[in-house]
Amino acid sequence: MTVQTPAGAATDAAARNDVHDEAGVVLPVGIIGFGWMGRAHAAAYARIRHHYPDLTPVPRLMVIADEVTDRAAAAAAQFDVPATVADWRELVADPTIGAVSVTAPNFLHRDIGCAVAAAGKHLWIEKPVGLSAADARAVASAAATAGVRTAVGFNYRNVPAVAAARELVAAGEIGEVTHARFRLFSDYAAHPDGALSWRFQRDRGGNGVLGDLASHGADLVWFLLGDIESLVADTAIFVAERPKPTGATAGHQLASGGERGPVENEDYVSAQLRMAGGARCVLEASRVSVGAQNSYGFEIHGTKGVVRWDYRRMGELEVGAGDAYQDLSVATRFVGPGSGDYAAFQPGAANPMSYDDLKVIEAARFCESIAEPTRAGATIDDAVRAAEVLDAMTTSVREGTWIAPASMR
């Protein structure tokens, strides 16, 4: 196989077959799809040794696959990547690549994910892993058959404060959980001139905000509270038409003045959940919440207290616990070393972390899972479970009744 370097010269794949450096075993990696999330993966790979100096294998980004060749070339130059290809199949066929990040649009996840696994390459793939639970299961089956390790982009469970909240709940500090509320509100699609990208098409973006934001919510609910026994849901489209883009899009661009087309998938979802442990929960997500920029968080009530978390104040927990029951004071706890992976980034409590740090944690756990047979972070199995919750929401809306996720039937 030949690939194009950023300068345009051809090079043979064997030239990239370095497997050791001064830090130990090197894991040659590639990225398929280089929009905003592809860039986040590239930055995570580049930073991983800064925060995990003893980690092996050490990832080294060697190839970027993106059909927008100018974008791929610019990214390769920025991240010092030796080669780019326009067709993702060339990357998958490269025998020197040991692991692949899949950050392409949702409708490509099943084909690419299965191909990566079948080629014997470890897989870091973004949620929701396809358009349905069937897609996620297909990738999971391919990975299990090939014996490769997987990671899925449920980055919010990597927040040290979320890890601390999980321990707090599990330890019974707030008593037995009675009810909870999870929210994921954003305004990224609130503008009526937001480009009609693949995200708003049913056959390419799946079920809209369910796959985009509610999938994170489904994972957080499970991570903190356990299995969902059944649910009932409601959805809505609030921006019915959008202008069609005139070129490739990345992120959430505007496209004012263009021909308008219909939005085919959900802007908003609200679901009531009955947890297997008896608690009740509300999960709500919106991509058109004017005035809400990444307003993500949860509030969990128990028989003896409460814990609250807001993504915009990532390193803080609001906790009230004790025997007062009424008029209980709630105090702010700043998480620090000892909570999750906080110590890999900051030396003391109340020093802020960022979204990009969460992707570094995700990359590190992916590499750890390759080195050790034990599970290190969110995997394709977590993607399947979350997708089954989203499928149950879709079925509930269609049938107007309570539905159990497939794994709970």
DSSP string, 247-267: S---SS-B-TTSPEEE--S-S
Cβ neighbours around 325 below 10 Å, total: 10
Domain extent listing, the chain: 2-154, 156-350+379-408
Q: In the block, which residue shows the tokens 């959008």? A: 242
* Half-sphere exposure of residue 372: CA atoms within 13 angstroms, side-chain side: 11
For the cut 50, the answer to whether the pLDDT of residue 143 exceeds it is yes
Kindly state the tokens that stand for 383.
Answer: 């993607």
Mean pLDDT calculated for residue range 187-206:
94
54, 157, 220, 298, 321 from 338: Cα distances, Å:
18, 16, 20, 22, 20
- Contacts with 8 (C-beta within 8 Å, 6 or more apart), sequence order: none
pLDDT band at 327 (very low <50, low <70, confident <90, very high): very high
One-letter amino acid for residue 204 of the chain: R
User: What crossing angle do the helices spanning 133-146 and 109-118 adopt, rounded to 10°?
Assistant: 10
Separation CA 378–CA 219 (nearest Å) = 9
Tens digit of each residue's pLDDT (9 = 90 or more) over 9-51: 333 333 333 444 444 599 999 999 999 999 999 999 999 999 9
Q: Establish whether domains 2-154 and 156-350+379-408 are of one fold.
A: no
Cβ neighbourhood burial of 111 (10 Å; 0-12, 13-18, 19+): middle
Q: Report the alpha-carbon distance of residue 278 to residue 389 in Å, rounded.
A: 17
In this predicted model, what pLDDT tens digit does every residue of 274-300 receive, in sequence order?
999 999 999 999 999 999 999 999 999
- 44 neighbors 13 (Cβ within 8 angstroms): no
For residue 250, name the pLDDT band (cuts at 50, 70, 90): low
Judge contact between 3 and 13, C-beta under 8 A.
yes
Tokens representing residue 85 in the block: 């290809």
Average pLDDT over residues 260-268: 97
Spatial CA neighbour of 221 closest among 248, 171, 182: 182
Cβ distance 194 to 254 under 8 Å?
A: yes
CA distance 177 to 262: 42
pLDDT tens-place string over residues 82-128 = 999 999 999 999 999 999 999 999 999 999 999 999 999 999 999 99
Q: 2-154 has which fold?
A: Rossmann fold (3.40.50)
Burial class (CB in 10 A: 0-12, 13-18, 19+), 124: buried
Instruction: For the domain covering 156-350+379-408, report its CATH number.
Output: 3.30.360.10
pLDDT at 60 over 90: yes
Looking at the chain, the whole-number percentage of residues with pLDDT higher than 70 is: 93
- What would the two tokens of residue 169 be? 């709940």
**pLDDT category of residue 248 using cuts at 50, 70 and 90:** low
Strands in 186-330 per DSSP E: 228-236, 241-243, 260-262, 268-275, 280-286, 295-302, 305-310, 316-321
Phi, psi of 357 (to 5 degrees): -60, -35
Q: What token pair was written down for 297? A: 């968080």
pLDDT value of residue 300: 98
pLDDT digits (tens, 9 = 90+) for 197-210: 989 999 999 999 99
Residue 182 pLDDT > 80, yes or no? yes
Whether the CB-CB separation of 85 and 3 falls below 8 Å is answered with yes
| 253 band by pLDDT with thresholds 50, 70 and 90 | confident
- Give bridge partners of residue 234 from the DSSP assignment: 270
Say if residue 3's pLDDT is above 60. Answer: no
- For the chain, give the number of residues: 409
> What local confidence, expressed as pLDDT, does residue 6 receive?
36
Could you read off the pLDDT of 224-245 as tens digits, one per residue? 999 999 999 999 999 999 999 8
Tokens of 174: 């707030």
Residue 374 banded pLDDT, cuts 50, 70, 90: confident
